[in-house]
A = this chain, B = another copy of it.
Amino acid sequence: MKLKNLLYAQSGGVTSVINTTAAGVIETARASKKIGKVYAGKNGISGILKEELIDTSQESDTQIKNLKYTPGGAFGSCRFKLKDPKENPNEYLRLLEIFKSYNIGYFLYNGGGDSQDTTNKIANFTQTSGFPVQCIGIPKTVDNDLPYTDNCPGFGSVAKYIAVSTREAALDVESMSDTSTKVFIMEVMGRHAGWIAASSSLASEENDGPPHIILFPEKKLLQRKFLKKVKQTVLRNGYCVIVVSEGLRDYKGNFLSDSGKIDAFGHKQLGGVAPRIAEMVQIKLGYKCHWSVPDYLQRSARHLSSKVDFDQAFAVGKSAVEFCLNGDSSVMPVIVRLKTKKYSWKIGKVKLSKVANIEKKLPSSYITKDGFNVTKKFRTYVEPLILGEAYLPFKNGLPINANLKNKLVKKRLKKFS
């Protein structure tokens, strides 16, 4: 019997190690000898609907290895949500057509909560279609907001980047504060969940910072209380480092930085809360401020990835293929923290129906009572996730990245509209 082929695709905001997961999928599938071709959807489900399939068998083992060192989504990602199959089955019927035509037995979708909703819908649809495809979700998100997994691949690396960057910038600000900048504000990603902002706390071993103040999307900004804390900090330390989540809201519940635009998932497009805070501090307290918005730099900083994150990103890719070979469907590999003294973990499994469309926010037990810092409990949680350096090879002073052919297969189906 002809071996079934595998279709892998990337979805949603990318991470610095999502391609490490892709390498985990491809290397494991190649080694198994039980899977035919590994196709990759170009630009996620959006490209798959257009029959834009990349034949990864054209890529050498070396280039697949180089994927592990390459940030971004090597096959293209997308922000694209499938419609409800009951209301509009067209997209699902098209996918079925693709799956049949390319003898797809396994569909692996690498994304966050929104994407796992898509994976689950496809899984359910193929179950009753007469052409069942094993659908496996693979977790990925810098936001760390997926439930049922101790942490999400991608998060450990951004946590490390933000912790190191906060530490480095704080040393800079501290040395200039006598005659120049007194307050430094860094805006980090996190629309609804403050995991990334919280991880900046690792910059110091103690809770007295820097960062001296962390502003979470889970806590509304009380301006007077905040400014009082800034002033106290400057008077005590000579300077103040503030880390703020892009999703910070005012006391009325409005985003401090609401651009008024909406993305393809219907989320409000944010950005620019750091300059807002800087303006507030400068006007109300008169301190010279500098602000930073790393934006995509934080989630693509493969040069500073955590080794733990790197290993876990590879492992979820590998496990997803093993789940396929084990006959599983409608599940997602998760990271399970083991109850050992020294941090250790294993891969577990959860049903997709449980994770789809759920956002795991920062528990209140992880935020200090005054709302401006993290608790010891959070530090214990996050510390192991940034451990180790996932060094990558450099050439001419720059990282070596994968150079894929990304050759599309010749289309054989009618155009989809």
Q: Give the B-binding residues of A (Cβ under 8 A).
A: 10, 13-14, 16, 43-44, 46-47, 70-80, 160, 163-165, 167-176, 178-180, 184, 186, 202-203, 261, 263-264, 269, 271-272, 275, 288, 290-297, 299-304, 306, 383, 386-389, 394, 396-399, 401
Structural contact, A179 and B80, CB atoms closer than 8 A: yes
A387 and B13 CA atoms in complex are apart in Å by: 31
A264 and B174 CA atoms in complex are apart in Å by: 17
A168 surroundings in chain B (CB, below 8 A) = 16, 71-72, 296-297, 300-303, 399
Q: A296-B292, A386-B397, A401-B171 are in contact. Are A46 and B178 (CB under 8 A)?
A: yes
Identify A73's interface contact among B76, B176, B264, CB under 8 A: B176
Structural contact, A178 and B292, CB atoms closer than 8 A: no
A168 and B69 CA atoms in complex are apart in Å by: 11
Closest 3 CB pairs of A and B: A72-B171, A73-B175, A386-B397
A74 surroundings in chain B (CB, below 8 A) = 175
Given contacts A72-B170, A76-B176, 10 further A-B contacts (CB under 8 A): A16-B168, A78-B179, A79-B180, A165-B297, A168-B303, A179-B264, A271-B291, A290-B296, A292-B294, A387-B397
Structural contact, A79 and B176, CB atoms closer than 8 A: yes
A264 surroundings in chain B (CB, below 8 A) = 179-180
Structural contact, A167 and B299, CB atoms closer than 8 A: no
A389 surroundings in chain B (CB, below 8 A) = 394, 397
Q: How many copies does the complex hold?
A: 2
Structural contact, A296 and B184, CB atoms closer than 8 A: yes
Structural contact, A14 and B175, CB atoms closer than 8 A: yes
Q: Which of A261, A294, A386, A388 has the most CB of B within 10 A?
A: A294
A79 and B291 CA atoms in complex are apart in Å by: 18
Nearest chain B residue, comparing its CB with the CB of A171: B72
A168 and B303 CA atoms in complex are apart in Å by: 9
A186 and B78 CA atoms in complex are apart in Å by: 22
Sampled A-B contacts (19; CB under 8 Å) = A14-B172, A43-B179, A70-B171, A72-B174, A73-B175, A164-B398, A167-B401, A168-B300, A169-B295, A169-B296, A172-B300, A173-B296, A272-B275, A291-B295, A292-B294, A292-B295, A383-B397, A387-B396, A389-B397
Structural contact, B291 and A291, CB atoms closer than 8 A: no
A175 surroundings in chain B (CB, below 8 A) = 10, 14, 72-77
Nearest chain B residue, comparing its CB with the CB of A75: B175
A43 and B179 CA atoms in complex are apart in Å by: 8
A184 surroundings in chain B (CB, below 8 A) = 296
Identify A290's interface contact among B70, B169, B173, B295, CB under 8 A: B295
A306 surroundings in chain B (CB, below 8 A) = 397
Q: A171-B70, A401-B171 are in contact. Are A178 and B76 (CB under 8 A)?
A: yes
Nearest chain B residue, comparing its CB with the CB of A202: B398
A397 and B13 CA atoms in complex are apart in Å by: 25
A167 and B402 CA atoms in complex are apart in Å by: 12
A74 and B172 CA atoms in complex are apart in Å by: 9
A165 surroundings in chain B (CB, below 8 A) = 297, 301
Nearest chain B residue, comparing its CB with the CB of A164: B303
A75 and B175 CA atoms in complex are apart in Å by: 7
A218 and B401 CA atoms in complex are apart in Å by: 32
A43 surroundings in chain B (CB, below 8 A) = 178-179
- A116: min CB distance to chain B, Å: 18
Q: A397-B306, A401-B171 are in contact. Are A180 and B293 (CB under 8 A)?
A: no
Identify A386's interface contact among B291, B293, B398, CB under 8 A: B398
Structural contact, B294 and A297, CB atoms closer than 8 A: yes
Q: Which of A163, A291, A295, A306 has the most CB of B within 10 A?
A: A295
Nearest chain B residue, comparing its CB with the CB of A241: B296
A264 and B179 CA atoms in complex are apart in Å by: 8
